[in-house]
Chains A and B, each alone.
Chain A
């Protein structure tokens, strides 16, 4: 059903062409709030990736049952229970990270990138393709979170990989300390906007140089509020 090229197209779409954070600008509230360190970005990225993949899978598996008038409650049910499970698992397996991410873990429910994929893709496509789509969109979002986290931690605190023990166990670590202290603005809220703007600008510049045709192919352009 899902051919090699299909998978590649979907991965390219999620990771780059219509990256949820860089192009669709969906879910940027958690994206801006938690990316003060690489480990925070990675943690929320993994959580979002899981929710997105499984919600796409479940929505696609139940797509023949979905009637137009009850589809939104169904998406909400599926996504909310998945997020609750992920939150519980985080508090069980990565308690330190769970405490740091705090409210942004349950708030994955409100990440419109997830409902958008359910509505636009998973409800109309077979399970396999939907899983690939959820994974690629989630990975695109997670990679952006990591990139912003790494950038802001590097500039703002002069370190990298600090507190990685929260995700991988072991003794509390300060990570790779390159400079003592950093440019504080980067880890303050304005730094988040600046870093995201730089990332978007960098992507556009790269696209222009490569002359990637920027056509909104079928089903990729989305009009979702928020």
Chain B
């Protein structure tokens, strides 16, 4: 096992090296495989809990059945919902009937890029709540849309296309019914527009959203 006499046995050395490496690779792969087998169910449960935890604010207290992740509808872009990214719809059922749909969409025309929104819509077309998932708006101005920084988002609670009526879905400065944010009007405009478009989409596609049976988790073209 000396490394010095390379010249005398260079061929076997390469061959041996290959065998050693292959054996070690097999061993390491086995180690990872065993760890994966042990952790996979735990990780899946964690992801599930995390998803439900993050959807909770827009569930509006609806007692839902079955796992939310199993009633997902993923719509690749382009779709009729706001945003250029794939839109996600979680369908919520209570007592076997559709209760609400939770939309993950993005407002295209934020001040600094798209604003990712989570919008909960009851089956009657009223909003449970709206949450911001991701944005790059100006700190101190546009970021006041975040629910942790101001209660601006709360005015969407229970709003629908009837109240305020669909022509009043704008900030007050534009003659609408929604409060603006000091120093930022582009951000609220973008959010209001995206929420309204989502409601319009829900109004015209309600039946097809819930058409597939619950618990299929299928993808739609």
Contact = CB atoms under 8 A, between A and B. Distances in A.
For the side of the interface on B, what is the size category?
Answer: 20 to 34
Contacts of A68: 3
A73 interface: yes
B17 A91 contact: no
Contact of B42 (A67, A69, A92): A92
Interface string B1-45: 101000000000100110011001100110110011011001100
Contacts of A67: 3, 13, 16-17, 20
B39 A91 contact: yes
Nearest to B50: A95
A88 B36 contact: yes
B28 A77 contact: yes
B205 to A, nearest CB: 33
A172 B179 CA distance: 32
B46 interface: yes
Nearest to A65: B20
B31 A85 contact: yes
Nearest to A70: B17
A224 interface: no
A73 B35 CA distance: 22
Interface of A is mostly: helix
Interface residues of A, number: 23
A62 interface: yes
B136 to A, nearest CB: 16
A91 B50 CA distance: 12
A95 B24 CA distance: 30
A84 interface: yes
A77 B25 contact: yes
A99 to B, nearest CB: 8
A173 to B, nearest CB: 16
Interface of B: 1, 3, 13, 16-17, 20-21, 24-25, 28-29, 31-32, 35-36, 38-39, 42-43, 46-47, 49-50
20 contacts: A62-B24, A65-B20, A67-B3, A68-B3, A69-B13, A69-B17, A70-B20, A74-B20, A74-B21, A77-B25, A78-B24, A78-B28, A85-B31, A85-B32, A85-B35, A88-B39, A92-B42, A92-B43, A92-B46, A95-B46
